[in-house]
């Protein structure tokens, strides 16, 4: 089983256990909303662009609500579990290439919104995969950072992002924790930040991610 499928299965189990009204780290979303988002991005390509493109966001939101009304919570979780859907199930390798990071982050979005969460001990080869992909995406994900950013992976590896003309803040942690940080989950990432105190505060408050 691929890591994308493992994260999908684990997230589906967690969604089933918590029910539709549990909090997540996605601002304004409960687990019902997150399940609808995951189905939308895989099975409704006409609306998926609205996830990233602001002019299409209203349409994406309307489709997401329609999916909730049509399938209900348990139906949406079942669609997530039985995926990948859409093009991700048709193109060989697409699920692993695209959904490993997506499902890892959203699994943590649900886990870390619950009381007394602790980081998981992920397999080392998954940590290496995450770091390899994060290194290629760091500049995109950190493009709105108001300071320079130097990512240090525990065990080796450096990636750069943020404002090249500003003082830098160093962020150190495991690859998966750096991924959560760069995806905009700064307050829920187990990382260490070093640099000017004001710069660190500005980076913690910045809107990061794709």
| Predicted local confidence at residue 89, as pLDDT | 84
What would the pLDDT profile of 12-63 be if each residue is shown by its tens digit?
Answer: 999 999 999 999 999 899 999 999 999 999 999 888 877 877 887 899 999 9
Kindly report the number of other CB atoms within 10 A of residue 82's CB atom. 11
Domain check: are 131 and 105 in the same one? Answer: no
| Overall domain count for the chain | 2
Domain check: are 97 and 166 in the same one? Answer: no
What would the pLDDT profile of 119-130 be if each residue is shown by its tens digit?
Answer: 999 999 999 999
Q: Average pLDDT in the 169-177 region?
A: 98
Q: Is residue 210 situated within a structural domain?
A: no
Domain that holds residue 181: 126-205
Residue 176 vs residues 63, 122, 132, 183: alpha-carbon distances, Å: 31, 8, 11, 11
pTM of the model: 0.94
Q: Is residue 118 situated within a structural domain?
A: no
Domain check: are 135 and 85 in the same one? Answer: no
Q: Is residue 19 situated within a structural domain?
A: yes
* Longest CA pairwise span in the chain (Å): 50
Q: Is residue 121 situated within a structural domain?
A: no
Q: Average pLDDT in the 60-80 region?
A: 97
Q: Average pLDDT in the 57-76 region?
A: 96
Contacts of 192-195 with CB under 8 Å at 24 or more apart are 193/169, 194/169, 194/170, 195/147, 195/167, 195/168, 195/169, 195/170
CATH assignment of the domain containing 187 = 3.30.1050.20
Domain check: are 145 and 66 in the same one? Answer: no
């Amino acid at each position: 089983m691929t890591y994308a499928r493992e994260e999908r299965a684990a997230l589906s189990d967690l969604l089933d256990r918590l029910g539709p009204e549990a909090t997540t780290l996605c601002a304004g979303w409960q687990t019902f909303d997150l399940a609808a988002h995951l189905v939308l991005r895989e099975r409704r390509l006409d609306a998926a662009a609205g996830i990233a493109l602001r002019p299409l966001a209203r349409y994406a939101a309307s489709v997401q609500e329609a999916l909730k009304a049509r399938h209900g919570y348990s139906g949406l979780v079942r669609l997530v579990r039985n995926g990948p859907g859409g093009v991700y199930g048709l193109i060989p390798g697409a699920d692993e290439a695209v959904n490993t990071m997506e499902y890892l982050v959203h699994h943590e979005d649900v886990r870390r919104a619950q009381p007394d969460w602790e980081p998981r001990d992920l397999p080392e080869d998954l940590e290496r995969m995450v770091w390899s992909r994060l290194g290629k995406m760091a500049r995109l994900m950190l493009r709105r950072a108001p300071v320079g950013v130097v990512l240090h992976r525990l065990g080796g590896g450096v990636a750069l992002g943020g404002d090249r003309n500003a003082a830098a803040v160093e962020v150190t942690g495991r690859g998966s924790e750096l991924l959560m940080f760069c995806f905009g989950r700064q307050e829920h990432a187990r990382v260490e930040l070093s640099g000017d105190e004001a710069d660190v505060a500005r980076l913690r408050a910045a809107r990061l991610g794709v």
